C-alpha cells in the first residue's frame, strides 16, 4: 500500500486555489485497494464502538447526521498506519504552507441510509488552538454520489467571521446558509469518486446533505494542525472537552506536543 506514503503531485496552482477557496478536492489520492483494506477496519470499528442505539426518528439533528467515533488510530494498529500515512500528511502541510503537521485527532463519520443532513458549520469553533493553520482531510471509503450526501463547501468562506460562534445545529444551518447566500459565495457539493479526497481549512464553512440512498456513507477524517500550534484558553464547554480529550497535558501558550498529537510529517 505504497500510496499511503508516496508524494502526491500537487502543484503550485492547487495550493493557490486552496489558499483562495479554503478547500480543494483531489482525485486519485488513494487507490481502491488501499481504501478497501483500511476501510473495512475503519467501518468495523465505527459500528462496534459507537454508542448510538436510538432509531433515527428519535435523534436530534446532530445525531441523525452520522455515527462518529474519534481517534481510531489508538484502537487499531492498522488504522494507525492509515492515519499516520505520509502522503496525506504531506498534502496537509503543503496546502497549509507550513513545514510540518501534527495530528489533532481522527474521526470516522458513518451516515446511515436515511441519515439526515450535516448542518452548516466551521470546525474550528470546537478547537482551542492559537492558529488557523488547521486542515481536515475528508476521505470517503466508497464513491459518494449526490444522493449519499457528499460534503459541500462554501468557496472563500474561511474569510467570513459571521457564524464562527455557532456549533452544528438547526440554528447554524439556517443562519450560516442564509449568510453565505447574502455573500454570494458559491457552494460546491459535487460527488466524490473513489479515491478522491477533500481538504478544508478549520474556518471554511461546509455541510453535507442527507443520505437518500439505501447504502451507508462511510468516511474517515483526519484533522491536522501546524506542528507549532499552541493551546489557547478555552472559550466554551465544547472547547474544554476537546482540550481534555485530544490534547491531554498540553499547557496554555505552549506547543501541543502530547502523546495524542504526534508529528505526522515535516520537511527535512
Task: Report the C-alpha gap between 105 and 72 in whole angstroms.
Answer: 9
pTM above 0.75, yes or no: yes
Structural domains in the chain, sorted by start: 2-259 (2.60.120.620)
How confident is the prediction along the chain (268 residues), in pLDDT tens digits per residue? 579 999 999 999 999 999 999 999 999 999 999 999 999 999 999 999 999 999 999 999 999 999 999 999 999 999 999 999 999 999 999 999 999 999 999 999 999 999 999 999 999 999 999 999 999 999 999 999 999 999 999 999 999 999 999 999 999 999 999 999 999 999 999 999 999 999 999 999 999 999 999 999 999 999 999 999 999 999 999 999 999 999 999 999 999 999 999 999 999 8
Q: What b/e readout covers 173-209, taking b as 16+ CB neighbours within 10 angstroms?
A: bebbbebbeeeebebeeeebebbbbbbbbbbbbbbbb
Region class of 243: left (phi > 0), else alpha (psi between -120 and 50), else beta: alpha
Alpha helices, H only, the chain: 12-21, 32-49, 61-65, 77-83, 86-96, 170-183, 237-246
* CA distance to 8, 65, 128, 129, per residue, from 241 (Å): 35, 21, 10, 13
DSSP letter for each residue of 109-134: EEE-TT---EEEE-GGGG--BS-S-E
Secondary element (H or E) of residue 76: none
Q: 258: exposed, middle or buried (C-beta count within 10 Å: 0-12, 13-18, 19+)?
A: middle
151 touches 15 (CB < 8 A): no
Amino acid at each position: 500500500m505504497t500510496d499511503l506514503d508516496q508524494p502526491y503531485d500537487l502543484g503550485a496552482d492547487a495550493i493557490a486555489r486552496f489558499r483562495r477557496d479554503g478547500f480543494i478536492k483531489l482525485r486519485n489520492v488513494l487507490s481502491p485497494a488501499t481504501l478497501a483494506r483500511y476501510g473495512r477496519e475503519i467501518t468495523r470499528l465505527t459500528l462496534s464502538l459507537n454508542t448510538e442505539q436510538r432509531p433515527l426518528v428519535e435523534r436530534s439533528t446532530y445525531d441523525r447526521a452520522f455515527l462518529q467515533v474519534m481517534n481510531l488510530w489508538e484502537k487499531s494498529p492498522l488504522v494507525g498506519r492509515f492515519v499516520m500515512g505520509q502522503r496525506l500528511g504531506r498534502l496537509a502541510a503543503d496546502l497549509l504552507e507550513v513545514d510540518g503537521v501534527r495530528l489533532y485527532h481522527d474521526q470516522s463519520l458513518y451516515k446511515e441510509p436515511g441519515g439526515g443532513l450535516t448542518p452548516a458549520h466551521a470546525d474550528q469553533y470546537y478547537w482551542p488552538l492559537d492558529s488557523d493553520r488547521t486542515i481536515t482531510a475528508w476521505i470517503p471509503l466508497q464513491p459518494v454520489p449526490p444522493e449519499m450526501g457528499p460534503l459541500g463547501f462554501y468557496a472563500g468562506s474561511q474569510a467570513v467571521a459571521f457564524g464562527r460562534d455557532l456549533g452544528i445545529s438547526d440554528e447554524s444551518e439556517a443562519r450560516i446558509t442564509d449568510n453565505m447566500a447574502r455573500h454570494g459565495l458559491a457552494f460546491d457539493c459535487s460527488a466524490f469518486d473513489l479515491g478522491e479526497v477533500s481538504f478544508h481549512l478549520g474556518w471554511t464553512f461546509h455541510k453535507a446533505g442527507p443520505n437518500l440512498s439505501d447504502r451507508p456513507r462511510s468516511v474517515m477524517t483526519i484533522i491536522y494542525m501546524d506542528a507549532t500550534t499552541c493551546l489557547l484558553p478555552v472559550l466554551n464547554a465544547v472547547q474544554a472537552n476537546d482540550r481534555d480529550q485530544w490534547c491531554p497535558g498540553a499547557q496554555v501558550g505552549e506547543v501541543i506536543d502530547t502523546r495524542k498529537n504526534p508529528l505526522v510529517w515535516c520537511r527535512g
